Structure 1
Amino acid sequence: MPHLRLEYSANLEEKADMAAICAVAYGAIMASGIFEIGAPRVRAYPAPHYAIADRHPDNAFLDMVFRLGAGRGADDKKRVGDAIMAAVAAELAPLLAAPHFALSLEVVEIDPDLSWKKNSMHARLRGK
């Protein structure tokens, strides 16, 4: 149940291909070998209203929150977090080279007692 949520300043759409960023992040998640194919979700949402740092019009941000189910060790969580950050940072290297961009990632473990799920994709994908 890994879910990667990307929230970004709307002006980032002029500077980056958000669909490509989602695909790169998904690839990093799957390449970790930790998750089965029916599990990952990557989605991106623009923030149409924002105020960043000195409010320079070129300022932009991408904030990522990676939520995953309990039970994975700290090493696995760190490894997949490092992989996501590296993949997205590589995709956004030109923006990171400029003085107007902020990229962040937080890995959050979901409390299993406070999380409910139903997923009909697993049975289909496991049957392959």
Structure 2
Amino acid sequence: MPHLVVLYTPNLDKPAADGGLDMSGLCRALCDAMLTVHDEQDRQVFPTGGTRVLAYPAAHFALADGGAAGEAAGQGGDYAFVYMNLRMAKGRSAEVHRRVGDVLDACVKQRFAEQLARRPIGITVQVDEGHEVADAKTSSLHPLFQKKD
């Protein structure tokens, strides 16, 4: 953990000139942004080897009124939506939660600025703290980022 899962309408999988977005680039930007967050003691909040961002286009979707209001407003009826849910382990302060949310929100606003200006699109960023019933982890990634003395 943390895991940031991005669900999005597949109409965003097209060139930026057509209202789309580079989703691999978005994932990299979000991951990099998460790694910049520090706690009140200036420690990196998320372990580098445990930070993951995964994006999935929705196979099926319906949004709002299907595009009628967008068409009537001259903005087009090709609505898009992105839902981002960050799930992180318990134990971090409310201030850290706020910092993480602010960093992700700023990244999203920067990455989607062009699309937000040109088309009807909704974006949700949600940060959840886990209530783990079981929490087993296996990784050969973490040793790559542990400091050597």
TM-score using structure 1 length: 0.92
Partner residue of 2:73?
none
SS of the aligned residue for 1:38 comes to helix
Alignment partner for residue 51 of structure 1, among 44, 54, 62?
62
C-alpha separation in 2, matches of 1:13 and 1:116: 34
Distance 1:48 1:55 in 2: 16
Q: Greater CA radius of gyration, 1 or 2?
A: 2
- Range moving further from structure 2, 54-63 or 117-126: 117-126
Match in the other structure for 1:75? 95
Q: Which runs of 4+ in 1 moved over 4 A?
A: none
User: In the aligned structure 2, how far is the partner of 1:46 from the partner of 1:99?
Assistant: 18
What residue in structure 1 maps to residue 30 of structure 2?
25
Distance 2:93 2:103 in 1: 16
Quote the Cα distance in structure 2 between the aligned partners of 1:104 and 1:67: 14
- Percent identity between matched residues is 36
- Bigger proportion of residues as strand: 1
Q: 1:36-66, CA deviations, whole angstroms, 9 ceiling, x for partnerless residues?
A: 2111000100002100011124100110000
How many residue pairs match? The answer is 128
- Structure 1: where are the runs of 5+ without partners? none
| Aligned Cα root-mean-square deviation (Å) | 1.5
